[in-house]
């Protein structure tokens, strides 16, 4: 079985895994990082059906025949009931009518936020609203438009400076897929070995985690890999030619390291610099030798566990440092820093306390990685587990006085303005009661020191910042305060031989950066090694 094979391949690789690459030390290395769009990018995730209503819904109604339901845009997403006949839940057949053309009309909002990457949940031909049950990977679902519509969207996004990443569901298809139906009905079908078919499986075929509507693809069968990524006209390569800049791989750990490496080589052959990012709920570690980046759920757990007190700050510091050491800084800079998405509750529901929520988001934007904004998070949209977290975009919240939007704009501006937060290395700051770290480059004055207090009381702590290029008695500025209109320079004690004594208010984050001091014509500020 494929999962056993993938595990065996992973175990075989551990003996030969290289050590993580050492941090960059010279200007050229940081310049290379800065030139790579994948490093530290701000990612915006969209469900096409739920992002913007189509211009003429009446003309599209025929695309939603019963038992599909076309909802009003102001209707929330609600839980359905399981249907034995359909082998799915009725909530999977609720649609709101968004499409690629209506998404194109809202790209100005995405770009105005300061986003770098537009990530689309699956758009290929499928029966359900979520499109994880592919009928044909090479077609766009008609509810969303056509492949030409995608080409136009990609061209428009590129003209605005946006990259586009698609969702690759390469571990299963939909039960209604013609290739599966043919394989199920005819033992002589050329597609018979694309799936694991037999009476030992419920529904007649091995299905993904038991969902009979999602028969698993047999990746050990060479024609399947040829179709998905190896051939010049494969799914992966043809969409890259049509304008995609990368792929997010659904449950990527199920492909195993050898297949991930093979897939990555195919992507680079088609489009050098393409991104392959995996939905990886495993600890990243050695997997990073097989893939460009992951959705960093491990770092998400550290942040959220620290936010609610399940782990202390000192433990969180050690865990973060270990994670980044084991995975390596280069792939971690490309990895998506996910707090909420279509599978987990929205952050405003998960963390209803505003101070706690902003604390988590501040770390999301200052730790190494690419912050992932789930559509509507910038507006404070709420929603529990699937499908409540997949409600239609609430455009009425898009107002300049929306505090969630103001905060998101501040965080994005912080990220854009400071190179160390985008491509800098990570080093833990020695602290016990604060989550504390620095991001640094080859330029000493670009250093950013982040001090986060998850508790409900102020914390005053003397911490050690082990950066040899920060001079004694350097003044500091809190970068979050200037964004709010306060440009007072001395908002933190000055350095003293690598030490700072700092006070951090309850559930708040200080983002400190050194400022060059006028020494009467003498410049002692070393740029670095």
Predicted model pTM: 0.93
- Which pLDDT band holds residue 510 (cuts at 50, 70, 90)? very high
Asked if residue 344 has pLDDT above 80, the reply is: yes
pLDDT tens, residue by residue, 313-331 = 999 999 999 999 999 999 9
Q: What percent of the chain has pLDDT over 90?
A: 86
d(Cα 368, Cα 25) in Å, to the nearest integer? 17
Give the per-residue SS3 of 347-416.
HHHHCCCHHHHHHHHHHHCCCCCEEEEECCHHHCCCCCCCCHHHCCCCHHHCCCCCHHHHHHHHHHHHHH
- Which pLDDT band holds residue 472 (cuts at 50, 70, 90)? confident
Contact between 387 and 81 (Cβ < 8 Å): no
Asked if residue 117 has pLDDT above 70, the reply is: yes
d(Cα 467, Cα 447) in Å, to the nearest integer? 9
pLDDT tens, residue by residue, 385-401 = 999 999 999 999 999 99
Determine the pLDDT at residue 518: 67
DSSP string, 237-299: HHHHHTT--EEEETTGGGGHHHHHHHHHHHHHHHSTT-EEEE---S--GGGGGTSSEEB-HHH
Asked if residue 414 has pLDDT above 70, the reply is: yes
d(Cα 199, Cα 215) in Å, to the nearest integer? 14
SS3 502: strand
DSSP letter at 300 equals H
- Which pLDDT band holds residue 481 (cuts at 50, 70, 90)? confident
- Which pLDDT band holds residue 232 (cuts at 50, 70, 90)? very high
Determine the pLDDT at residue 20: 41
pLDDT tens, residue by residue, 153-184 = 999 999 999 999 999 999 999 999 999 999 99
Compute, in degrees rounded to 10, the torsion defined by CA atoms 309, 310, 314, 316: -110
Tell me what the pLDDT averaged over the chain comes to: 92
Contact between 409 and 113 (Cβ < 8 Å): yes
pLDDT tens, residue by residue, 251-292 = 999 999 999 999 999 999 999 999 999 999 999 999 999 999
- Which pLDDT band holds residue 6 (cuts at 50, 70, 90)? very low
Greatest pairwise CA separation for the chain in angstroms: 86
Chain Cα centroid distance, residue 162: 15
- Kindly report which listed range (457-461, 480-484, 486-490, 516-520) carries the lowest average pLDDT score: 486-490
pLDDT tens, residue by residue, 10-46 = 433 433 333 344 455 689 999 999 999 999 999 999 9
Determine the pLDDT at residue 65: 97
Contact between 181 and 225 (Cβ < 8 Å): no
- For 306, other C-beta atoms within 10 Å of its C-beta total 24
Asked if residue 131 has pLDDT above 80, the reply is: yes
Q: For residues 108-125, give the mean pLDDT.
A: 98
Determine the pLDDT at residue 507: 96
Determine the pLDDT at residue 11: 37
Asked if residue 191 has pLDDT above 70, the reply is: yes
Determine the pLDDT at residue 495: 81
Which of 250, 178, 214 lies closest to 87 in space, CA to CA? 214
Determine the pLDDT at residue 523: 57
Which of 26, 49, 239 lies closest to 144 in space, CA to CA? 49
Q: For residues 292-297, give the mean pLDDT.
A: 98
Asked if residue 210 has pLDDT above 60, the reply is: yes
Burial of 497 (0-12, 13-18, 19+ CB in 10 A): exposed
């Amino acid at each position: 079985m494929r999962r056993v094979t993938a595990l065996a391949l992973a175990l075989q690789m551990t003996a030969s895994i290289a050590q993580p690459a050492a941090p960059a030390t010279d200007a050229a290395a940081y310049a290379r990082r800065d030139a790579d769009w994948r490093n530290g990018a701000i990612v915006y995730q969209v469900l096409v059906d739920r992002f913007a209503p189509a211009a003429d819904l009446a003309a599209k109604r025929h695309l939603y025949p019963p038992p599909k339901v076309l909802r009003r845009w102001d209707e929330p997403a609600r839980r359905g009931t399981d249907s034995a006949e359909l082998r799915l839940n009725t909530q999977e057949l609720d649609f709101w009518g968004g499409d690629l053309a209506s998404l194109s009309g809202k790209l100005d909002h995405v770009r105005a936020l300061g986003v770098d990457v537009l990530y689309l949940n699956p758009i290929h031909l499928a029966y359900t609203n979520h499109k994880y049950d592919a009928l044909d990977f090479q077609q766009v679902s008609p509810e969303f438009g056509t492949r030409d519509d995608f080409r136009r969207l990609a061209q428009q996004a590129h003209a605005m400076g946006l990259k586009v990443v698609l969702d690759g569901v390469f571990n299963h298809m939909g039960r209604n897929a013609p290739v599966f139906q043919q394989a199920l009905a005819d033992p002589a079908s050329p597609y018979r070995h694309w799936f694991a078919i037999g009476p030992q499986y419920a529904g007649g075929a091995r299905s993904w985690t038991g969902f009979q509507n999602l028969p698993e693809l047999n990746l050990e069968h060479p024609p399947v890999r040829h179709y998905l990524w190896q051939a010049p006209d494969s799914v992966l390569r043809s969409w890259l030619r049509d304008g995609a800049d990368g792929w997010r791989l659904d449950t990527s750990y199920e492909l195993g390291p050898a297949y991930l490496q093979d897939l990555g080589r195919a992507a680079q052959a088609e489009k050098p610099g393409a991104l392959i990012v995996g939905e990886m709920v495993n600890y990243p570690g050695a997997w990073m030798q097989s893939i460009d980046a992951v959705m960093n759920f491990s770092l998400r757990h550290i942040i959220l566990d620290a936010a609610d007190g399940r782990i202390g700050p000192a433990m969180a510091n050690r865990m973060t440092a270990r994670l980044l050491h084991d995975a390596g800084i280069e792939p971690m800079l490309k990895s998506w820093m996910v707090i909420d998405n279509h599978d987990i509750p929205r952050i405003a529901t998960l963390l209803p306390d505003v101070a706690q929520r902003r604390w988590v988001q501040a770390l999301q934007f200052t730790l190494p990685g690419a912050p992932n904004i789930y559509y509507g998070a910038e507006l404070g949209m709420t929603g529990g587990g699937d499908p409540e977290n997949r409600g239609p975009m609430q455009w009425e919240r898009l107002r300049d006085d929306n505090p969630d939007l103001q905060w998101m704009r501040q965080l994005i501006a912080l990220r854009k303005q400071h190179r160390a937060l985008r491509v800098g290395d990570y080093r833990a700051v020695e602290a016990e009661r604060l989550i504390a770290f620095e991001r640094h480059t080859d330029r000493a004055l670009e250093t950013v020191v982040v001090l986060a207090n998850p508790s409900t009381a102020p914390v005053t702590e003397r911490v050690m910042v082990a950066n040899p290029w920060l001079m004694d008695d350097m003044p500091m500025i809190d970068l979050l305060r200037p964004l709010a209109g306060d440009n007072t320079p001395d908002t933190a004690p000055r350095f003293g031989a690598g030490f700072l004594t700092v006070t951090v208010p309850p559930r708040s984050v200080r983002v400190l950066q050194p400022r060059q001091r006028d020494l009467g014509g003498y410049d002692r500020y070393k740029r670095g090694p």
